[in-house]
Structure 1
Amino acid sequence: MTITSDTSAPLVVVGGSTGQQGGSVIRSLQESDKVYRIRGLTRDVSKPAAKALTEQGVEMLSVNLVIENKAQVVEAYKGANIVFAMTNFWEHLDKAKELAEGKMFIDAALEAKVPLFIFSSLDSFEEYSGGKYKNVHHFEGKAQIANYGRSKASPSFTFVAVQAGFYYSNFTRNQIIRQESDGTWAAALPCKPDVLLPGIDVDEYGLWVRAAIEHEELRNGHEILACSQEMSIGEMVDEIARPYSPEETSLKITFKTVNNDEFRAAMPEGAPEHVKDDLMEFFNGLSAVGYYNREDVVRFLPYLSRKTTTFADWVKKKDMPEYGKI
C-alpha cells in the first residue's frame, strides 16, 4: 500500500526512521492494506536513506532526538495518532543518558497529546535476578523507560512496549564468533550452550509494532514480545557451521563456555569496563533468568501479517560461511 498524504489517514511518527528498527516499522506499515501517513524523524534528511523514504511518500523531519531538543520533539509529535520511539545505548554507552532521552520522548508525547505511544523496550535482568545482575545497562535503561511509560498511562494515553528479540545479525561482524589463534572460529561465551535466545531478523521487527497498531486487544498488557523462533545459542552456532550443499564442507566453528575473566580478556582493546560488565552479566544472566524470563515467547506470531524468517533461512540468506573466508 502506498503511503498517503491524505489527512484523514492516521499519522504515525517514527523515530530512527533510517535505522534498523524504525526502517522496519515503516516497511511493515507500507505492506499493510490499511492506509497511513508516516512522518519519519532523522538527524539528516539529506542522506540517501532519508531521501529514499521521501520518494516513498514519507514526510521526513530533521530532528536530533536528544534531551536538549524536547521542544522540537514535541513539535514533531504534534498531530500524531501513533508514535514509535526507540533509544540506542550503543550510540553513547550511557544508561543515564538513554533513560533521560526515553523519558523525554514520553513526556513530549504527553505534551503533544499523542494517544498511542509504542516504545522499543527490553526486560530488567536486575529485577528478574533479585538484584544479582545490575549491570546489563543496555537492557536496564529500556526497562526503566518502559516502567516510566506505564506509570503515565491513562484513558487518553496508551503506552505499549514492544520488546526486541535477540538479533540474528549479532552473529555477524565478529560480534559473537571470533577467530581463535589456531585459525578456527569459536563462540567463546560465559554461558552454557543450552541457553535459549528468542531470535528475530531485525528487518522484521516492525511486524510486531504493526500488530500493536492494528490489533487493539494486544495493548491491554502494554507489552509485546518480538520473537520469531526460540533456539539455544549452541544450536545457532551449529546452524552457522552446517554445510548447505554437497559441495560445501562444515566450517570449523564451535561453542565454548569460558569463565568471566577469559571472556573479558578477549573483548576488544579499549572497551570500557562498564561495557565489559554489561556483556558479561548479560550472558551470565541468560543462564540464570533467561532473555525474556517467560515461556510463551512466540505467542504473538498469530497476530503478525506474514510468516517471519527462521534462523536457518536467515543464515542461508546471509551466506554465513563468511567465517571461512576472512
Structure 2
Amino acid sequence: MTITSDASAPLVVVGGSTGQQGGSVIRSLQESDKAYRIRGLTRDVSKPAAKALAKQGVDMLSVNLVVENKAQVVEAYKGADIVFAMTNFWEHLDKTKELAEGKMFIDAALEAKVPLFIFSSLGSFKKYSGGKYKNVHHFEGKAQIADYGRSKTSPNFTFVAIQAGFYYSNFTRNQIIRPVGDGTWVAALPCKPDVLVPGIDIDEYGLWVRAAIEHEELRDGREILSCSQEISLGEMVDEIAKQTGLKIAFKTVSNDEFRAAMPEGTPEHIKEDMVECWNGFSEVGYYNREDVTRFLPYLSRKTTTFADWVKKKDMPEYGKRV
C-alpha cells in the first residue's frame, strides 16, 4: 500500500531511514495492506536516498541522532504511535557512546509519550557466557540498551527489542573470505565450520519489525529473534564456492593468528571484540536460544535463503561467476 498522509493512519517514526535497517523497515511497511504514515529521520535530507523516500510519501526530517540533540529527537518523536530506533557502534567504535545514545532515544520516546518503541538489539555474550566473553562491545551495548528499555515498560509504554541475525552480507567486501594470492581463497576464523548462525538478508530485517507492529501477541516482553535460516558458517562458504566456482577453504585459526591478520590500524578493543565474538558463536551460540525460527510464521512473506541470496547478489569481489 502506498504510504499515506491520512491523519487516521498510525505514524511510524523510523531512525536511520536511509540506511539498511531503517530502509528495510520502511519497505516492509510499504508492502503492508494496512496504511501507515511514515516519518523518516536522517542527517541530510538533501541526499539522493532521502529524496527518493520523500517521493514515495515519507515525511523526511533532518536530525542528528546524538545525545546532545535530545530536544530535537523529542520533537521528531512527537505525535508518533510507533518509533523504530537503532544505534551504530561501527560509526564510532565506542560502546559507552552507543549506550548513551540508545538510552537517550528511549528517554526521548517517553518524554514524547510514544506508546510503542521498537529497538534493533543484540544479545549479551557476557551474560550468555557467565562473564567469560565480556568484550563483544558491538553486541553488549545494544543488550544493555534493551535492558534499559525493558526497565521503562509501563501500561503507557511498550518496549520491543528485535535482535538482528547474522547478515548474509558479512560475506561481501572480503570481510570473511579473502584471497590468498595464488588463485585460492580462505575463510580463516577462530571457530569451527559447523558453527550455526541465524542468517538473514539485511534487506528483510524490516519484516520482523512489521510483525511486531501488526501482531500484538509478539509484544510480550520477550526479545524477537530475526532468523531466516539457521545455517553453518561452513555451509555458507561452500555455497559461495559452488556458485562462484572458486576454490575456497574454511580454516580454523588460533585467536592470535586471527588477531594478527586484522587490518593494520585496527584498535585493540576491536580486535578483542571480534576474537571473543567468534569464540562466543562457537561456545554459547549467536542467540543462546533454541527454536530461532519460531517467528517466521508471523512474517508477511517468505524470506530469502542464503543460496538464493548468493544467486541474486552482485558480489564483484569474487570475480566472474561460473
Q: TM-score range by the shorter chain?
A: over 0.9
What's the offset of the Cα at 1:322? 4.0
Partner of 2:39: 39
Q: Which amino acid aligns with 1:216?
A: E
Aligned runs of 1:66-215 on 2, under 5 Å? 66-215=66-215
Q: 1:185 touches 1:323 (CA, 8 Å); kept in 2?
A: no
Q: CA separation in 1, counterparts of 2:313 and 2:9?
A: 37
Partner of 2:2: 2
Q: 1:207 touches 1:305 (CA, 8 Å); kept in 2?
A: yes
Q: 1:236 touches 1:311 (CA, 8 Å); kept in 2?
A: yes
Structure 1 residues 279-307: Cα deviation after superposition (integer angstroms, max 9, x where no partner)? 11000101110000012100000000000
Partner of 1:250: 245
> How high is the TM-score relative to the length of structure 2?
0.98
Partner of 1:278: 273
Q: 2:187 touches 2:249 (CA, 8 Å); kept in 1?
A: yes
Structure 2 residue runs without a partner (length 5+): none
Q: CA separation in 1, counterparts of 2:152 and 2:131?
A: 25
Q: CA separation in 1, counterparts of 2:160 and 2:28?
A: 17
Q: Which amino acid aligns with 1:312?
A: A
Q: CA separation in 2, counterparts of 1:36 and 1:241?
A: 42
Q: Percent identity?
A: 87
What's the offset of the Cα at 1:159? 0.2
Q: How many residues align?
A: 321
Q: Which amino acid aligns with 1:43?
A: R
Q: Which amino acid aligns with 1:93?
A: L
Q: Which amino acid aligns with 2:287?
A: Y
Asked if 1:65 is matched to 2:65, the reply is yes
Q: Which runs of 4+ in 1 moved over 6 A?
A: none
What's the offset of the Cα at 1:324? 4.2
> Residue 7 of structure 2 aligns to a residue in which SS?
coil
Partner of 1:318: 313
> How high is the TM-score relative to the length of structure 1?
0.97
Q: 1:240 touches 1:320 (CA, 8 Å); kept in 2?
A: no
Q: Which amino acid aligns with 2:295?
A: F
> Residue 16 of structure 1 aligns to a residue in which SS?
coil
Partner of 1:295: 290
Q: 1:240 touches 1:321 (CA, 8 Å); kept in 2?
A: no
Q: CA separation in 1, counterparts of 2:106 and 2:183?
A: 49
Q: CA separation in 2, counterparts of 1:83 and 1:299?
A: 24
Partner of 1:308: 303
From the superposition, tell whether residues 78 and 222 of structure 1 become closer, same or farther in structure 2 (CA, over 3 Å): farther
Q: CA separation in 2, counterparts of 1:322 and 1:142?
A: 31
Decide which of 249, 258, 265 is 1:263's aligned counterpart: 258
Partner of 1:223: 223
Q: CA separation in 1, counterparts of 2:269 and 2:140?
A: 13
What's the offset of the Cα at 1:321? 7.3
Q: CA separation in 1, counterparts of 2:316 and 2:87?
A: 32
What's the offset of the Cα at 1:66? 0.2
Q: 1:125 touches 1:139 (CA, 8 Å); kept in 2?
A: yes
> Residue 175 of structure 1 aligns to a residue in which SS?
coil
Q: CA separation in 1, counterparts of 2:67 and 2:136?
A: 23
Structure 1 residues 129-162: Cα deviation after superposition (integer angstroms, max 9, x where no partner)? 0000011000000000000000000110000001
What's the offset of the Cα at 1:179? 1.2
Q: CA RMSD in A?
A: 1.2
Structure 1 residue runs without a partner (length 5+): 244-248
